[in-house]
Structure 1
Amino acid sequence: MEVANLEEIIANFVIQNKENYYRLAYYYVKNSADALDVVQEAIIKALSKKESLKNPDAIKTWFYQIVVHTALDLLRKQKRSVIVDDETLTIYDSGHTDHYDDMDLKKALDTLPIQYQSVIVLRYMEDLKINEIALVLNENANTVKTRLYKALNLLRIQLDEVEEGDFQ
């Protein structure tokens, strides 16, 4: 396929689906500015690696994979940097701990390990099929099924515990 044509296909696809990719990036990085950075960086990566898109029909999972990996890269970089030291946090700490009695699905999902979160988000929030998720995460389809089953069970347990706690 011609390089200029491939660039046009990628550009059109990203423009048509930009909200989906922003939402996915936002889910991972949890703030608007970083989500926009992730999408922008993913576009740059996609255009620079356009030759790796062998089949234009697979552009959806190909670009999802780039967005997920770019978001995870940003999270790893942020994890390595310390934004504020503990002493500064102590100075501004009011001494009060927030307590929330109810936990919604989002909070329960945030407690899961990232590999389980990714499978849930891609399956139920991005409506990808198991095989598409496997391609995005570079995993075996059976591994994705197992993680999805385990993640749903963990969520069910957490939400049941919260529900039981509401009535005690």
Structure 2
Amino acid sequence: MKTKREKQTEDLLLSQYSRYYRLAYSYVHNEQDALDIVQESAYKAMRDCRSVQNDAYLGTWLYRIVINTALEFLRKNKREDTVEEVTEPLTAAVGDYTNELAQLHSKWELEEMLEHLNDREKSVIILRFFEDCKLEDIAQITGENLNTVKARLYRALRKLRPEAEQNRI
């Protein structure tokens, strides 16, 4: 018999699965690895959900588990950057082909830019701009002070600015 907290955790995992997957994918850039990270995170969440004292923090607690699991995966699997395979064939139409190439190029540039950040800065950027989290939520997820999160965000943006300007030229 599941407890109320286990049921809440399960419901949140199921309803927010795509967000957790996107978050994991933003770290590992590999579909199968991201799926593994989400699965491992779900296991950890269900195993430890009784330790969360306040229901209001369950969502941010789950984000933290996914981030920590992704970072743990990266530490264990230090490997060379590899070019991601294109999973869908490019279409024959010239306009579509050009558009798909531009999107792939843009994605690779963004991933390359994020590699210049340390793990903490990368987490703040991903949560703020890709997951659309508020700064207060990011502070809860990362377990940091709000002012620390703000400082990391602005420091990361300063690091990214020259790289972004260089790619526009």
Query: Shorter-normalised TM-score: what interval?
Result: 0.7 to 0.9
Paired residue secondary structure (2:77): helix
Which digits, 9 at most, give the CA deviation of each residue in 1:93-113, with x for residues without a partner? xxxxxxxx9873333223222
Task: Choose which of 101, 116, 119 in structure 2 pairs with 1:114.
Answer: 119
Once residues 119 and 166 of structure 2 are traced to their aligned partners in structure 1, the CA distance between those partners, rounded to angstroms, is 21
Unaligned runs of 5+ in 2: 81-104
Unaligned runs of 5+ in 1: 83-100
Paired residue secondary structure (2:117): coil
TM-aligned CA deviation for residue 121 of structure 1: 0.3
Q: Does 1:73 align with 2:72?
A: yes
Q: Does 1:7 align with 2:6?
A: yes
Paired residue secondary structure (1:49): helix
List, as ranges, runs of 4+ consecutive aligned residues in structure 1 with deviation greater than 3 Å: 101-106
Q: How many residues are treated as equivalent by the alignment?
A: 144
Task: Choose which of 135, 155, 159 in structure 1 pairs with 2:160.
Answer: 155
Aligned-pair identity in percent equals 41
TM-aligned CA deviation for residue 145 of structure 1: 0.3
Q: Is the 8 A contact 2:37 2:70 kept in 1?
A: yes
> Max radius of gyration: which structure?
1
Q: Does 1:132 align with 2:137?
A: yes
Gap change, CA 1:141 and 1:159, over 3 Å in 2: same
TM-aligned CA deviation for residue 3 of structure 1: 5.9
Which digits, 9 at most, give the CA deviation of each residue in 1:106-163, with x for residues without a partner? 3322322222111000011111111211121122211110010011111112111233
Match of 1:92 in 2: none
Once residues 111 and 72 of structure 2 are traced to their aligned partners in structure 1, the CA distance between those partners, rounded to angstroms, is 22
Once residues 69 and 142 of structure 1 are traced to their aligned partners in structure 2, the CA distance between those partners, rounded to angstroms, is 21
Once residues 33 and 138 of structure 2 are traced to their aligned partners in structure 1, the CA distance between those partners, rounded to angstroms, is 23
Q: Is the 8 A contact 2:6 2:50 kept in 1?
A: no
Match of 1:56 in 2: 55
TM-score of the aligned structures, taking structure 1 as reference length: 0.78
Match of 2:36 in 1: 37
Gap change, CA 1:75 and 1:105, over 3 Å in 2: closer
Once residues 148 and 62 of structure 1 are traced to their aligned partners in structure 2, the CA distance between those partners, rounded to angstroms, is 20
Once residues 2 and 145 of structure 2 are traced to their aligned partners in structure 1, the CA distance between those partners, rounded to angstroms, is 31
Letter in 2 for 1:49: D
Once residues 110 and 22 of structure 2 are traced to their aligned partners in structure 1, the CA distance between those partners, rounded to angstroms, is 17
TM-score of the aligned structures, taking structure 2 as reference length: 0.77
Q: Does 1:123 align with 2:128?
A: yes
Paired residue secondary structure (1:19): helix
